[in-house]
Structure 1
Amino acid sequence: MSASARAEARRKAILSRGSDRLAKLTTSARGDDPAYMHDDPPLPSISTGLKTFVGEESSMPTPPNRPSPSPSPRAARTAPAAASTSPFAAAGSKANAAPDHPVWSEQQQQQFMQALMAASPLSRSPESLPGLTPTDVDPALPPMDNPLAAMLFPQGAGAFSSGPAGKAPAGAAPAPPPTRLQRLMPFVHLITMWCMLAYFVLYMEPKTLAEVGGSGIGLWRRWAELGESSPLGDVAQILRIQVMPFFWAFTTLQIVLHSVRIFSGFDAVQPPTLLAIALPHLPPPLPSIIVNGLKYLQMGSLFLDDLSGLVVGLGFIVLFSGWLAA
């Protein structure tokens, strides 16, 4: 190559290099990402032997050659600034941002809280609740697709419907307001126990003592000895205790009182709210077992109340006997 040809090639190389630098400067000044003028080298093609060895041929087309972008100077300047932002500033920006809207409406949240705080409207329908339209809660949907309706309106899907014949219902319906007789039943129990105690103290015990031979001590004095004498032997000598059918009378009265409660419908129990919500989703034997177990617990509580009333009545008799004997 002659000297003039070499000089011409050198001049063209210098000019092309200068045009590349000028293009970089102009694109950086405009804020665009500068693009290299030269193209990336072509990707190596897969040899035919490798395709045959693998047993398949690639149907993916070769990606076109594009100018590789370089990082933007503006992005490079803003990245350290974003990284150096204080966490307190980030928290402040999040606080100033618009609040996130919940999935449930405010009315639905209130109904959910009422269900958890023992004020759930289990006997209501979606139409009877103010501000809650049927489109918000659709009881016709399955419980898995509509958990809010299954929790608030279980009777809409037949959750609290009656069970098979001979079994307790699957869930407990809300109890109606108690009647006057139902409110007076605890006083009826207490008055009945005290009347039975007065019958044995004032009539049955003196009659039995007179049949075996009285001790000459007055009625009130003998009962007052229970509050004055500590040795049990002396009390037994003074009272001359005789066997009386007190236990059988107490048992008979208990059977009568509980039968009246059962046949009058006063033995209905109201499970706790969370238990009432879970009852429809339990297997068939468990709801009846739970409801009947609550009824037996109620009967046991009433039995203990009646027994406590008898003990209190005996204490009053001993106290009043001491005053009358003095």
Structure 2
Amino acid sequence: MADVVPDLEGFSGVVSARRGDEVLGEWAVGFADRTAGAPNTPRTRFGLASGTKTFTALTTLSLIGDGLLHQDTRAREILHDDLPLIADDVTVDHLLTHTSGIGDYLDEEVDALAPLSVPVQRLDSTPAYLPMLEGFPTKFRAGQRFSYCNGGYVVLAIIAERVAGEPFADLVRTRVFEPADMEASGFPRSDLLPAGTATGYKQDGRTNVFELPVVGSGDGGAHSTARDLHRFWQALLAGRIVHPSLVALLTERVTADAGDGLGYGRGVWLDAEDLIIAGGDHGVVAVSRHHPPTATTVTGLANVEVPTFARVRELMRAVTADGVVPAE
């Protein structure tokens, strides 16, 4: 690893390569807080944006494992009169696989960085998202095709809260973060970030506090560290979060090519053997790529809008090149 160094030009954040209990390399650059002059460190927490969806999917699968939900549970059974434009045949599995066809409050096929229609300070709980999800007609019949849908994962969070009787953030904590020993992960308020958390910066230098919900939900807003994300992959594949049969559902290639040659399962992107968590938003980019045959995780977490996916992919290729001994 001594001769393997990632591309850090223009980067602000942390890049990490780990295998098993070994840190192969870790690089922290830039400032977590520019005003205070606080640097990013390997233990800095970063927003994960849509990387949160992986935890939403796992929380949902955990509830399926407990019998509180089923893959074919219809969203309407739980939503009742809320969000009436969601078609009656849309199921939990359609939402998990981005094949629901429901209209999206933030349609990335139109504009991935469109401003929110509700003041961000109002979005302080999952039920508070309901007004923002209203009024979007069906795009296509459920099951017809893949179409990435942020709103669908907020709907999953609403469904999870209602069937479990607990706030969504608590469900993710007890069903995902705690079993994986992800002690630095959670859903902090953007206007009350805990110490050691990176502030996200837009391209014009302003923070992202007016751009994102004050508290995240099913489609974004979780924060984590490079170490915690490696722990996540280890715990997931060891069956410590959900039963291996549910891990198989999470990582099943439901859509062979969801764009850029990547497959999609249920909350996880798939690239050949690699499993991927990925997200990006105003002042936030997060990618964690895991290679199960060698138990290797490469993670890039940035608090600026900078290309990160390719950097993580190239570093993974370097550390898993021919001659690397697979983890036992």
User: What TM-score comes out, normalization by structure 1 length?
Assistant: 0.20
| Structure of larger gyration radius | 1
User: What TM-score comes out, normalization by structure 2 length?
Assistant: 0.20
- Structure with the higher strand share, 1 or 2: 2
Q: Which structure carries more relative contact order (alpha carbon 8 Å, separation 6+)?
A: 2
- Structure with the higher helix share, 1 or 2: 1
